[in-house]
Structure 1
Amino acid sequence: MKNQSTVLGIMGLLILLALWQIGSLILAQTMPLANMLAPAAALGSLKTLLLGGQLWEHIFASLQRVGVGLAFALLIGVPVGFALGLSRKTEQTASPAFQFLRMISPLSWMPVVVMLFGIGDAPIYFLLAFAAVWAIILNTAAGVKNINPQWLELGRSLSATQSEMLLKIMLPAVLGDILNGLRLAIGIVWVVLVPCEMLGVNEGLGYFILDTRDRLAYAELMAAIVLIGMIGWALDSMARSAAKFWQRN
């Protein structure tokens, strides 16, 4: 079954590659520059950029921003999720406001955060954390609500303190849900990252895309797009593997 899934996945990627090639050929009929968007040009440029080292500083800068944004989202989202899951009144009070805020695109806050924090990494950290925190809050709250009541009764019968109940019973019980929320948050953050890195920074994959556009280096632009997809796929795979590993154990 696993081999079949792998084969089907490879077939899907090959179909996507074929559609990419066909699309670039069609565009090239009216737009000669479209030849630079073709798979061969993009993948060749990606290889050159990686081997030449021009992309690594941008990759590391983007991954650092993602890591900091997710860390802030976890620091805020997990305690808030516990508060919502443990108290029905807290959930009823906070849910309308949270649903309202959750539906606002993080990118719409760009002018506000630039005014507050200036340009640089600080507004990017805010926007990424804002984008990621909702998935973590909702999954954590759902996990808390679904904790087996017998586990809690066992803890009380053993005279466990509140901190012991939280750290030794509740947190391990909801860690799988937190990891699932983190996986969703990674997907959201990685999508939001590129436009966020167009806020006046001088490194990162979003900045690199702007730079290639200004230089009319379209093969490098497509190479960066492919790389963004590959890194996002790798991050999602790692988060999914971590969640599955925890559920098995």
Structure 2
Amino acid sequence: MSTPSAAAPRRRRAAGGLGYALLGAAGLGAVLALWWIATEALPRDGSFARMFAPGPTFAALGELVGGRDLPLHVMVSLKRIAVGLALALAIGVPLGLAVGASARLEAATTPAFQLLRMISPLSWMPIAVMTFGVGDAPIYFLLTFAAVWPIVLNTAAGVRQLDRRWLLLAESLAATKAETLGRIVLPGVMAHVLTGLRLAIGISWIVLVPCEMLGVSAGLGYFILDTRDRLAYPELMATVLVIGVLGFLLDGAARWAHRRWAPAV
């Protein structure tokens, strides 16, 4: 049975969590109110802006969710994000471990990395299409290029912040390199890797939509162009809303992973 002294902190945390949830709901309500004012309350009757108002948008969203097109485009976009992030992790984590473990390698690569990461991934779109052709391949390249830098830099920072006493302990116990990597280094940098992954998700999700306007026939970016060409502006706004909600959920999943696997950081 919980003692009164142990139950009190839990009640305070629960009350604090409820308070923050209510504040978040209020913030979303304010955004919705501003949206309604800008697209319905202020514009005159028959104004073009009214086609993007909440009423028509939510009506179109209900029809899209109940249909087949929008779920298909959502699944295609999520698949591309998953592949891009998987490639970025496969490249970024080993590279970050190597850079963080070697001062010389860090000195040799930092200028190049800082230069490359400051180039917008969208700048590579023409080169990606000329190199990989149209389809998913250039999108995977652009998403990987966008996502790899926060993973590399955060992983390297995690290695540099490892407690050297743990490494000395592993060495004194004659641990192999594989054992040191698996039992000390990777657990020690996990919080930094997950932070980099969260940043990479946000960047990738932003880059994805314009990439999907590039010679493909499915995906949320493609669907936005399709709704524009059909003059289906409520559907266009509904798709923009779906993009925001999915991005919010992806970031929430990253925050949950950080709390789950790196709770102490």
Write the distance in 2 (CA, Å) between the matches of 1:31 and 1:243: 48
Q: Which residue of 1 aligns with 2:49?
A: 34
Matches within 5 A, 1:156-167: 156-167=171-182
The answer to whether the aligner puts 1:13 opposite 2:34 as a matched pair is no
Asked if 2 retains the 8 angstrom alpha-carbon contact of 1:66 and 1:128, the reply is: yes
Q: In structure 2, what is the equivalent of residue 4 of structure 1? A: 19
Is 2:99 aligned against 1:99? no
Match of 2:147 in 1: 132
1:70 pairs with one of 79, 85, 93: 85
The letter for the 2-side match of 1:130 is F
Deviation at 1:222, TM superposition (A): 0.3
Query: Within the alignment, does 1:48 sit opposite 2:63 as a pair?
Result: yes
TM-score when normalising by structure 1: 0.97
- CA distance in 2 between counterparts of 1:31 and 1:136 reads 49
- 1:248 is paired with a residue of what secondary structure? coil
Instruction: Output aligned runs, 1:133-172, within 5 Å.
Output: 133-172=148-187
Q: Give me the whole-angstrom Cα distance separating, in 2, the residues matched to 1:52 and 1:211.
A: 16
Task: Report if the CA contact (8 A) 2:93-2:155 is conserved.
Answer: yes
1:22 aligns with 2:37: yes
Structure exhibiting the larger radius of gyration computed from Cα positions = 2
RMSD: 1.2
Contact 2:190 2:262 in 1 (8 A): no
* Structure 1 residue ranges without an equivalent (≥5): none
The 5 Å alignment of 1:197-212 reads 197-212=212-227
Q: Is the 8 A contact 1:196 1:206 kept in 2?
A: yes
1:172-227 CA-to-partner distances (Å, cap 9, x unmatched) read 11111101100000000000000000111000000000000000000000000000
AA partner of residue 87 (structure 1): S
CA displacement at 1:150 relative to structure 2: 1.4
* Identity level (%): 56
> Are the aligned partners of 1:68 and 1:125 in contact in 2 as well (CA < 8 Å)?
yes
* Other-structure match for 1:112: 127
Deviations 1:112-143 (A, max 9, x none): 00000010000000000000000000110000
What secondary structure, in the 3-state scheme, does the structure 2 residue paired with 1:165 have?
helix
**Which sits farther off after the overlay, 52-61 or 203-212?**
52-61
1-side partners of 2:113 and 2:72: how far apart? 36
Answer with 59-68 or 151-160: which moved more: 151-160
Letter in 1 for 2:110: S
Partner Cα distance (2:116, 2:169) in 1: 38
- Structure 1's consecutive aligned runs of 4 or more residues displaced over 4 angstroms after TM superposition are none
Deviation at 1:153, TM superposition (A): 1.1
Q: Distance in 1 between matches of 2:53 and 2:96?
A: 46
Deviations 1:29-62 (A, max 9, x none): 3872322200111111111100122201100000
2:238 equivalent to 1:220 = no
Q: CA deviation at 1:107?
A: 0.1
TM-score by length of 2: 0.91
- Separation (CA, whole Å) in 2 of partners of 1:176 and 1:188: 19
**Is contact 1:73-1:129 (8 Å) kept?**
yes
Q: Structure 2, unaligned stretches of length 5 or more?
A: 1-15
Q: Deviations over 1:64-108 (max 9, x none)?
A: 000000011001100110111000110000000000000000000
Structure 1 residues 193 and 156: alpha-carbon distance in aligned structure 2, compared to 1, 3 A threshold: same
1:122 equivalent to 2:137? Answer yes
